[in-house]
Amino acid sequence: GLHREPMYNWQATKNSLKERFAFLFNNELLSDVRFIVGKGRQAQRIPAHKFVLAAGSAVFDAMFNGGMATTSAEIELPDVEPAAFLALLRFLYSDEVHIGPETVMTTLYTAKKYAVPALEGYCVEFLTKHL
């Protein structure tokens, strides 16, 4: 079942769809999947919502809803940088792009891998502007 925290009526405090989803970003609240991102000590547990991810990426859609969908609630992504993954999720939850010189390449890689061309575009744009 969904993970529900006893946080009463938080929904009413957010005025827009974007605010509500931004609130759910990297939040255990209502989450139904957990990613173990990165390798070894660097690995990080990141909670997420299948629906939000599947709505933003065909790869996540296939992962959760396709013919070979996983039923496991924990998914390991050893080849992904946690910071880049968080940047991807932030974009999928709120349309916000948080990239800097340190993370742009890994974020670009992640956006490509999970087939999110819009974020890919922002990364390329960042690269052409700043580098």
Question: Is the Cβ of residue 74 or residue 96 nearer to another protein in the bound state?
Answer: 74
Interacting positions 95-114 with another protein (CB under 8 A) = 101-102, 104-106, 109, 112-113
129 binds another protein per the rule CB under 8 A: no
> Which of the stretches 3-11, 13-21, 44-52, 58-66 binds another protein when contact is defined by CB under 8 A?
58-66
Instruction: Using CB under 8 A, pick the residue from 2, 12, 17, 131 that binds another protein.
Output: 131
Question: Is the Cβ of residue 16 or residue 71 nearer to another protein in the bound state?
Answer: 71
In the complex, what is the shortest distance from the CB of residue 105 to another protein, in angstroms, rounded to a whole number? 5
62 binds another protein per the rule CB under 8 A: yes
Quickly list DSSP for 53-67: HHHH-HHHHHHHHST
3-state SS, one letter per residue, for the chain: CCCCCCCCCHHHHCCCHHHHHHHHCCCCCCCCEEEEECCHHHCEEEEECHHHHHHHCHHHHHHHHCCCCCCCCEEEECCCCHHHHHHHHHHHHHCCCCCCCCCHHHHHHHHHHCCCHHHHHHHHHHHHHHC
Q: Which residues bind another protein (CB under 8 A)?
A: 58-59, 62-63, 66-70, 75, 77, 79, 101-102, 104-106, 109, 112-113, 115, 117, 127, 131
